[in-house]
Amino acid sequence: MIQKLLIQKIIQIVIKQITKQFKFNKMQKYVLEENELDKQMAVVQKTLNKYGKTLEDLEKDVAILKNNSHPPIFKSETLKNIKKELKDLKGQVTALGDIVSRKSF
């Protein structure tokens, strides 16, 4: 019984000396207590969660838009032709305007 108590006391003293020598108390304090990096990480996680929610909302909006949209009315080649025709019509209208302005009524 006395030997057991003596051994426990010796072990406690040895552990205390080892923790002093290797500065385990400082490491334990760093690991267990909140420090500046923990605070910064909490802010980053909060921001990340906010952006994740925003991304989910945007994905829902895109899904709604895709659901409500229709396919293009015409192809890009048709659009080019329409623009060309409008340009030609603009030129013709301008030419007619010049002719009309030169004639006197």
Task: Give residues with Cβ within 8 angstroms of 25, minimum separation 6.
Answer: 19
- In whole angstroms, what is the distance from residue 86 CA to residue 81 CA? 9
Note the Cα 9 to chain centre separation in Å.
57
- The pLDDT of residue 26 is 79
- The pLDDT of residue 104 is 58
Work out the angle at residue 19's Cα, subtended by the Cα atoms of residues 14 and 20, and round it to the nearest 5 degrees. Answer: 100
- Evaluate if pTM is beyond 0.85: no
Q: How many CB atoms lie within 10 A of CB 2?
A: 6
Side-chain-facing half-sphere of 70: CA atoms under 13 Å: 3
Residue tagged 């909302």 (tokens): 57
| Mean pLDDT of the residues in the chain | 87
